[in-house]
Amino acid sequence: MTDMKSEILRAALTADDEIALLDLREQGEFGACHLFWAVNTPLSRLEFEVARLVPRLGTPIVVITAGDADLAGRGAVALTDLGYSDVTICPDTPDGWVAAGFTLYSGINVPSKAFGEAVEHHYGTPALHASELKAMQDRGDDLVVLDSRTFAEYHNMNIPQGISVPGGELAYRVRDLAPSEETLVVVNCAGRTRSILGAQSVINAGIPNKVIALENGTMGWHLAGLELEHGRTDRFPSGDPESLDATIAMRDRIAAEHGVETIDRARLAEWQSEAEGRTLYLLDVRDPDEFATGHLPGSRSAPGGQLVQATDFQIGVPNGRIVLIDDTGVRATMTAHWLLQMGCRDVSVLDGGLTGELVTGADTDVQTATTPTIAADALAARLSDDDLAVLDLGESRVFRKGHVPGAQWAIRSRIAATGPALPDTGTLVLTSDDGRCAALAVEEAETLTNAEVLVLAGGTNAWVAAGQKTEADPTYPADEACIDVYLRAYDRNTDVEARMQEYIDWEVALIDQVAADDDVQFKMGPSA
């Protein structure tokens, strides 16, 4: 393995060549301080994340860990073992990054969050305060509230009267959801980014209605002392919108205004034949349910609104080829017009992306090695045994909401440092959400204990599906120990409202931070 100093790294990131900048720290550590274009790929989940983010094994990869040499070395070896042939380590600490001219950022999804603020600044996206919306609702004004988050987020909590319309669906379906030109269209998310991008997508779509973003989303609603709803299931109607002809016309106009290129299947086949020399992302931007019903072989589900809001969760090589797919080209074109403005250099829409032979089901899972397992009912029968311990290696905030009774928690790649003292004899059962992460931890666990190490078959999901009881404890692990995730305000045990305001202030401040950063250049389209 060779090393790369920060000065050379900074120059490489501004060139046209492909490069993947992978930060292997846990998400909570990454969120405290990182580089703008770094993609968080925690060592604890490397096998599940890196193939999706960096699909080409020959891609030049630079590993950063904020100076943690042991983590960098382990990560570089793991990447090499996975087949990556060009792995370099940048050994510098954040002080070294600053000395090389880098700007440091906190938070996650920073490129998308900063882009959202830039969109509001460039386009003048209008917004209204939660109290204004509440007054309109109380008066019975003609309005519709469209929630641009995922359905799961909406189902957890929503603005009263809101309808779930994830961001990639907004411009496609808004004409059906607000058929009267007099209806005010209000778009919300949890904070700011998807409210802004969603509202501006609808504005760019050219509907005659007044369109406005809910300022600070559900956080703003909560901070205004207003009640959120929980458990709602209202969502957009499935199938093509009745206003399809109008959306097709909108698609063609947006493509022309923003230079969105379309490719045919022959060109895609050519690019696929070149995939060993040039990174290719084939992203299906439709609703995940549509993707599961039938999609192009080799494509991945990346719903458009979530893709734009969190590009670093989907794209690890910004200079790679990005091909977007849907059935009509509308959602793909709207997604493309945002990615191009973010600075992605090679974005295309596939014409006829869903013709020919399709495959069904969700994305292909990462396969793990065969390990000794224990079934849920067998574990339940032994749960009270003195010589049995259960260690959960899943996400900490999920663990806090429900886990196998008596289980303790640790980070898969740091069991000794983050977990409890392991039993020296008896049986140690490892689990995680679906058991895959637990299976990958068996070898390390066996170096730390003489106990028999088993994996809960199917993980905690299978435990729940079998009707077994779980227990919850929102205080374990403590907030400060949850370094595997970047805790949202809602996930905190204390100071929730203060954390909400802190998050909102952080988002707003990003526009000034990127304006002073010479390494960040968005390419905004024509404004009204």
Question: 115-237 — its CATH code?
Answer: 3.40.250.10
Query: Cβ(221)–Cβ(130) under 8 Å?
Result: yes
CA gap 392, 420 in Å, rounded: 11
User: Which residues sit opposite 349 in a β-bridge?
Assistant: 262, 324
Of the candidates 256, 255, 275, the residue with the CA atom closest to the CA atom of residue 322:
275
pLDDT attached to residue 381: 96
Q: Find the DSSP H helices in 343-488.
A: 376-382, 396-401, 415-418, 436-440, 442-448, 459-465
CATH homologous superfamily of 2-108 equals Rhodanese-like domain (3.40.250.10)
DSSP structural state of residue 25: S
pLDDT of residue 3: 86
- Please give the Cα distance from 514 to 516 (Å, whole number): 5
Please determine, looking at this structure, whether the domain spanning 373-481 carries the CATH number 1.20.1070.10: no
Neighbours of 85 (CB within 10 A): 11
Q: Are 440 and 390 in contact (CB under 8 A)?
A: no
Burial class (CB in 10 A: 0-12, 13-18, 19+), 454: buried
pLDDT digits 0-9 by tens, 309-353: 999 999 999 999 999 999 999 999 999 999 999 999 999 999 988
Nearest alpha carbon to residue 395 among 424, 361, 354, 436: 436
User: Cis link prior to 477 (omega < 30° from 0)?
Assistant: yes
- pTM of the complete model: 0.94
Q: Which residues contact 259 (CB under 8 A, 6 or more apart)?
A: 340
Q: In the chain, count of helices (H) and strands (E)?
A: 23, 22
Instruction: Tell me where in the chain the CATH 3.40.250.10 domain(s) lie.
Output: 2-108, 115-237, 251-350, 373-481
Per-residue confidence (pLDDT) for residue 525, from 0 to 100: 84
Report the distance separating Cα 437 and Cα 47, nearest Å. 9
Cβ–Cβ under 8 Å, residues 97 and 104: yes
**Residue 329 amino acid letter:** G
How far is Cα 379 from Cα 458, in angstroms, rounded to an integer? 12
b/e burial code for range 192-229 (CB count within 10 A of at least 16 → b):
bbbbbbbbbbbbbbebebebbbbbbbbbbbbeeeeeee
Provide the 10 A C-beta neighbour count for residue 89.
20
Superfamily of domain 251-350: Rhodanese-like domain (3.40.250.10)
Pairwise CA distance, residues 27 & 39, whole Å: 10
Low-confidence ranges of the chain (pLDDT < 50): none
Report pLDDT for 224.
98
Q: What is the pLDDT of residue 528?
A: 58
* pLDDT, position 500: 96
